[in-house]
Chain A
Amino acid sequence: MSDARTAVLRLQGDDARVGDALDAVRSFAGEARLPPELIQDVLVVVDEVVANALRHGCFQGREPEVEIRLAIQDGALELRFSDNASPFDPLSVADPALDRPVEARQSGGLGLFLVRSLTDAQRYAREDGRNVLILRRSITL
């Protein structure tokens, strides 16, 4: 359910698709008339966080569930991700070694580096047995 200012999306089950999250965010951002460049940046962020949770999250037999809340307020887009996987703070992941050539780099950490680069503020918390990641990106029109 969404209007131009807020939207909530839930992905559930083993067949949950990252593509559904991207399409929902495209639709929300288009309706809210967010700048195309910002939409691209936000999609990179959503792809990374949701794919990480669904593919690498440890759910220990629970049905995977990821919730995404988008809110436009005070000149910023706030993205709040929460999931029911075991505790994992994505902000604790080290930056990749970008001073090395591509072929000599380890593949880890690339996406989370993009998440940090494309947002202005990041916060992680463990709340009520869920991982909660709150990201803010200012909207410059």
Chain B
Amino acid sequence: MPLSIQVSDGSPGTVRIALDGSLDSETTPELEKTLRSVAERMPRIAFDLQRLEFISSAGLRAIFATVKRQKAHGGEVALSNMSPGVRKVFEIVKALPDMRVFSSTEELDAYLAKFQ
């Protein structure tokens, strides 16, 4: 199962990255490449996971590396629309407290609107 990545500018200082498909050992390098090209010192990176069907530890590591880079310059990482299966993997490794998590796009939009 492939991974498709869609990058769009959100509100000022935010880049949105929508993931569709499977974020696994095979496909995660594509996301890492995208992150290197778009995310240089951006205050907020928001991952829209609505269409993400699967995440493995490789995908987790890519997102955790993003959290680390973001926090190093005072930025943050937001996740929205996680399916129960994807959420479960984040929960097992106790990662959700370190990110901003939104259950819907509307919630995420409301948060990002504060930075307009």
CB-CB under 8 A from B98, the residues of chain A are 101-103
The reply to whether B26 and A22 form a contact with Cβ atoms under 8 Å apart is yes
Q: Verify if A93 is at the interface (C-beta below 8 Å from B).
A: no
B-side interface mostly: helix
A-side interface mostly: helix
Q: Verify if B108 is at the interface (C-beta below 8 Å from A).
A: no
- Counting contact residues on chain B (CB < 8 A from A), the size range is 20 to 34
Q: Give the docked Cα–Cα distance between A39 and B64 (Å).
A: 24
CB-CB under 8 A from A36, the residues of chain B are 85
CB-nearest residue of chain A relative to B68? A103
CB-CB under 8 A from A50, the residues of chain B are 25
Q: A26-B1, A107-B61 are in contact. Are A18 and B94 (CB under 8 A)?
A: no
Contact with A along B17-52 (1 / 0, CB 8 A): 000001011110000000000000000000000000
Q: Verify if B95 is at the interface (C-beta below 8 Å from A).
A: yes
Interface positions, chain A 88-141, Cβ under 8 Å from B, are 96, 98-99, 101-103, 105, 107, 110-111, 113-114, 117-118
Q: Which 5 A-B pairs have the closest CB atoms?
A: A111-B57, A19-B26, A51-B25, A47-B56, A103-B68
A residues adjacent to B (C-beta < 8 A): 17-19, 22-23, 26, 36-37, 40-41, 43-44, 47-48, 50-51, 55, 96, 98-99, 101-103, 105, 107, 110-111, 113-114, 117-118
